[in-house]
Amino acid sequence: MNNARERARREGRAFTEDDIYSYYQSRSSTNDVQTMLMALSAAVMLADGKVLRSELDFVKAFFAQQFGRAFNRNSLQTLKQFLDSGNIPLQQICQDIRLRMPQEARVHLVHYLFAIAKADGVVSESELNVVRNIANMLGIPQVEFESLKNMFYRDVDSDYKILGIEPTATDDEVKKAYRQMAIKFHPDKVAQMGEEFQKGAKEKFQKIQEAYESIKKNRGFK
């Protein structure tokens, strides 16, 4: 990134989104998933105008757990470069991710971004808007985005929204929706993508189960 900045300075022009995307491409060619996650992580962390310690600690812990020795000081420097850039080219990066990842993996990626936003205990409106924008650019269907959102940004109907149905659904419709979601988002669906997606997949699957159990309890059916 510093080389790109220096090149822009020598050429007498402003440091642009294209410069940042060139940096992203040079890193993602060798780091792939790590660099993708770092770029989008930085966008969410910057959403409300400040990078919180709780968010940074969450991201560092996630990367350390998921990537092990592959996550090191150089990795943190990459994250810092995105945070310092101030102008992350989300449209280009999301287009690149859509070419590289199946939809199942992209859904779990949005789940991870919501987890960053919730690291300080609450998802702010600005963070929600950034995650929604990223989800749209990643091609995540609205019903699936609403399911993810309601795992972190809850209201009285969140359990139903997690299952992708309305509160007026019949008991049989609730059961059918749960079965469909459980099959569609079972962690085995992203097993081939590597360990970096497994933790988020398991957490999402658990949220689906919890929503179903809550509805069952409230309605009194088995």
Q: pLDDT value at position 141?
A: 93
Q: pLDDT value at position 179?
A: 94
Which tens digits make up the pLDDT trace of 89-118? 899 999 989 988 888 889 888 999 999 999
What is the residue extent of each domain of the chain? 2-219
Mean per-residue pLDDT pooled into runs of 10, the chain (222 residues): 54 60 62 81 92 92 80 83 85 90 87 92 92 97 93 90 94 94 82 67 89 93 80
CA distance 183 to 189: 9
Alpha helices in the chain (DSSP H): 2-10, 17-31, 33-45, 53-67, 73-85, 90-100, 103-117, 125-137, 142-152, 158-162, 171-184, 198-219
Contact call for residues 110 and 140 (beta carbons, < 8 A): yes
| DSSP per-residue codes, 26-91 | HHHHHHTHHHHHHHHHHHHHTTTSS--HHHHHHHHHHHHHHHGGGS-HHHHHHHHHHHHHS---HH
| HSE (side-chain half, CA atoms, 13 Å) at 120 | 15
For residue 207, give both structure tokens.
Answer: 């949220």
pTM exceeding 0.85: no
Q: pLDDT value at position 195?
A: 64
For residue 124, give both structure tokens.
Answer: 């702010």
